[in-house]
Amino acid sequence: MSALSFSSGLAWLGVLTAVVFAIQAIQTVSISLRPSKLRRYLHTSPDGRPPWVLVTGASDGIGKALSNELAASGFNVVLHGRNRTKLLNVQSELSQAHPARSFRLLIADATQCQPEVFKDIADQLSDLHLTGLVNNVGGGGSGTLFATLDHYTAQNTTEIVNLNALFPTLLVGTLLPTLVQNSPALLMSTGSITDAGVPLVSAYSASKGYLKTLAESLAREVKMAGWDIEVLHLRVGMVTGVAGNKRKPSMFMPRAPVFAKAVLARVGCGSPVVIPYWGHALQTVPLGFMPSWLEDMLIEYSMRDINSVFSSTPAASHEAAKTK
């Protein structure tokens, strides 16, 4: 009798797991079938000024691809970066592709987060009817990327946290009044599925976790305040065609332009945090169901794999850390 109820309990657990899986799958599919609401943010100001979006880290990779897609959708784009020459090249490329659009450059080193930086940015953009902000800038800073935290100097860590967390936060604080005034407005951020807590990139991983929580807080804040601002945080897996990765694309690793299309298609999906690319979403589904020891094993395994592909300077690599 008790054996019977035990096995029927297990059966019910199986059914429950299947149902949860199915709901997740349906959610993933239905989110990707919903039409994009990007055009909501494509409106002129009462005094007739055209809509602009600021994209940070727009001189390469995902930021450049997003800028291109936004321009194709009718937005004028402020291209942010730190290298004027590189940005000028991107500007001329995008101007040629989208002759009806305007582009403007914003130069700022995103590892520098002094108050004057943001005062200056606000001044430079004050004449624009900004209806969107894409906090895309980020990455591993000037470092070697894959190493245990003790290999990072205080400056390395500060750079990474500034670049991925503090700079976007201060930028939102600076531009929120503008976005509120120009609403409906869109506030996006480029995070990473490494926000789950990945070794050998711990400062980066944690900064992306911060950025995700920031988006969740802001989404609720915006609702409480009654502002018509959509907060959309992107959890991103591997993307190729970026500065640090030129490998062949695969099911789990789209090219930046393909990824950018998927991102804009998710606008208006109703959730503040999304995995915009289906291949990345598929990759992360099993993680939610695994026992933590298996999850640890899988993450460690994939980091060894990535480490061996990317690590060009073994001095601070995982192997060095292991033999210490």
Ligand X SMILES: NC(=O)c1ccc[n+]([C@@H]2O[C@H](COP(=O)([O-])OP(=O)(O)OC[C@H]3O[C@@H](n4cnc5c(N)ncnc54)[C@H](OP(=O)(O)O)[C@@H]3O)[C@@H](O)[C@H]2O)c1
Site residues (vs ligand X, CB under 6 A): 57-63, 81-83, 86, 109-111, 136-139, 163, 190, 192, 236, 238-239, 242-245
Distances (CA, A) of 126 to 32, 112, 232, 237, 324: 35, 21, 24, 35, 53
Give dist(CA 246, CA 130) in Å, integer: 33
Give dist(CA 87, CA 101) in Å, integer: 16
Smallest separation (angstroms) from ligand NAG to the CB of 140: 7
Residue whose structure tokens are 């395994």: 301
CB 77 within 8 A of CB 70: yes
Instruction: Find which of ligand X, ligand NAG, none residue 192 binds, CB within 5 to 8 Å per kind.
Output: ligand X
**123-142 positions binding ligand NAG, by CB under 6 A:** 142
Smallest separation (angstroms) from ligand X to the CB of 312: 15
Instruction: Find which of ligand X, ligand NAG, none residue 316 binds, CB within 5 to 8 Å per kind.
Output: ligand NAG
Nearer to ligand NAG, 109 or 295 (CB): 109
Amino acid at 239: V
* Binding of ligand NAG by 92 (CB under 6 A): no
Going through 42-116 in order, the beta strands assigned E by DSSP cover: 51-55, 76-81, 103-107
Task: Please give the structure tokens belonging to residue 47.
Answer: 């005094």
Nearer to ligand X, 148 or 245 (CB): 245
Instruction: Find which of ligand NAG, ligand X, none residue 110 binds, CB within 5 to 8 Å per kind.
Output: ligand X
Footprint on this chain of ligand NAG (rule: CB under 6 A): 83, 85-86, 142-144, 147, 151-153, 156, 316
